Structures are given as structure tokens and as C-alpha cells.
Amino acid sequence: MSGGDIAGLIAAGVFALLVLLLAVPILKLGGVFDEVRASIRSISDGATPLMDEVTATVSTTNQQLKKVDGIANNVSDASANISALSSLVAATVGSPLIKVAAFSYGVRSAFSSRKKPTTGRRSR
């Protein structure tokens, strides 16, 4: 064997050692990828029932909001009816009451001015 052959054998041995040293981190990285895949699968399996529950909750909430909307519409109609009723009462009862109050004030003023003697003047 010549010196070139020995150098070739040494280079081949170093290359094999380098491949073995690089194989260890690659195998560990494969294990990490397996763990990541298992974690993603468990998260996916847990998220599916959770999304089903969220869908059911949103559906129930939507139904309740429809009921609340109906109640709010009924309350709005009732308040409009009460407003119209109070306007009607004010128009039918308020105007005559104002007239009666004005008339009674006028009568009271007339009677009170008759009872008081006028001071400073003498009657003829």
C-alpha cells in the first residue's frame, strides 16, 4: 500500500465518522417531529368536540336572542300604545280641565274683588 491509499482510507474513515456523528441529531430530530405530530393530532382530536359544543352554544344563544327580540318588539309596541293613550287623555281631559280651572279662577277672582272694599275712594 502506498501513501495515497493510506490517505484515502483515513479520509474514508473520517467521512464515515462524520456521517455517524450527523446521524444522531437527525434521528433525534425525527423523534421531535414524531412528538409534534402526536401533539397536533391530540389537539385536533380535542378541538373537534369543543367546536361542536361552541356551535351548539351559539345556536342556543341565537334562539334566545330571537325570543328577546320578540319581547323587545312587544315592549316597544306597548310603550307606543301607552304614549298614544296618554296623548289622548291629555287631549280629551286636559283641555276641559284647563277651561274649568280658568273659569273657576275667574269666578273666584270676581267674588274676591266684590267682597273687598275699595280703599281710598268713596262711593257716591
Which of 55, 31, 35 has its CA nearest to residue 43?
Answer: 35
Model confidence at 55: pLDDT above 60? yes
Which amino acid is present at 36?
A: V
pLDDT of residue 82: 94
Task: State the Cα–Cα distance between residues 13 and 19, nearest whole angstrom.
Answer: 10
Residue 120 region, left (φ>0) first, then alpha (ψ -120 to 50), else beta?
left
Q: Is 116 helix (H, G, I), strand (E, B) or coil?
A: coil
pLDDT tens, residue by residue, 20-37: 999 999 999 999 999 999
Our CA angle for 106, 111, 113, nearest 5°, is 95
Q: Is 117 helix (H, G, I), strand (E, B) or coil?
A: coil
| Distance, CA of 116 to chain centre | 72
| This model's pTM is above 0.75 | no
